Amino acid sequence: MIRTLWTFAVGLAALAWWGPIVIWEARRGRKDGDWYVAVTRRWVRSVIWASGCPVRVHGREHVHPDVPQVIAANHISWFDVFALAAVIEEPYHFVAKKELLKIPLFGQALVGAGHIIIDRSNRERAIESLREAGEKVRHSRGAVVIFPEGTRSRDGRLSPFKKGAFMLAAESRVAIVPTAVTGSFEIMRKGSWRISPRTIHVHFLEPIPPETVTELGAAGVEPLMELVRARIAAVVEGEPDAGV
């Protein structure tokens, strides 16, 4: 319980400091994406530090600094987000659900930092948001990070994927980096606020190149979706601490 209280205290204090600065800079029209990413990293790394949950990275060479990519990861805990945001060294934007905008200060900072908000209750708006994300991917270096399951798993198992991430990659004609996160399920399960320190492993797997993405996407996104899911499942289902 002490670890949980300490982690929340540090996270909220960091958010209270950096959140207003991000919102202020965004309202002033600051367009320096690298600055917003640097601030995000500082915040999430403070949470990771306070939680006592070290992050081990595997396959870092598969994320390229100057090549647009879509990072598609499984989602078993809020700490997946913290871990990815902490270890990706390249500029990035997360795709986040609209409901997060309701969180005081955090929601405004999320928008101010340029992350991509999806309204899942409105199909047309969601598709339009993905198209805007596609433009952002094509015309900027770095990565767009998305969780194809759409929400955190309740049992740690890999849930069915939704098509949005693969529509985004196919339309953008960029590489997809399948990414498997393990170890975070037991840290803070969905529906629980208790934090139990564990080591988080982030596996950046071999990218699916743009030409393959385009080829599979032309036949519909299902073959692309199944390929990415199979690669992530091969890691997640083989990890004893993955919650499966």
β-strand pairing of 175-182 with 200-204: antiparallel
Look at the chain and count its residues.
Answer: 244
208-240 confidence digits (pLDDT tens): 988 888 787 777 788 888 999 999 999 988 654
Q: Is the pTM of this model over 0.85?
A: yes
Three-state DSSP at 179 gives: strand
Neighbouring C-beta atoms of residue 42, cutoff 10 Å: 13
C-alpha distance from residue 92 to each of 12, 35, 80, 87, 113 (Å) = 22, 11, 15, 11, 10
If pLDDT is split at 50, 70 and 90, which confidence band does 12 have?
very high
| Exposed / middle / buried, residue 125 (Cβ in 10 Å: 0-12, 13-18, 19+) | middle
pLDDT of amino acid 189: 80
Segment holding 160, helix H or strand E: none
Question: Which residues touch 116 (CB under 8 Å, ≥6 apart)?
Answer: 93, 94, 95, 96, 129, 132, 133, 136, 144
pLDDT mean across residues, the chain? 84
pLDDT of amino acid 139: 66
| Exposed / middle / buried, residue 227 (Cβ in 10 Å: 0-12, 13-18, 19+) | middle
CA distance linking residue 242 with residue 240, whole number of Å: 6
- Range with the largest mean pLDDT of 127-131, 205-209, 220-224: 205-209
pLDDT of amino acid 243: 40
> Residue ranges of the alpha helices (H) in 90-209?
106-112, 123-138, 164-172
pLDDT of amino acid 239: 57
Share of the chain above pLDDT 90, in %: 30
Residue 153 has pLDDT above 80, yes or no: no
C-alpha distance from residue 163 to each of 11, 51, 153 (Å) = 32, 33, 17
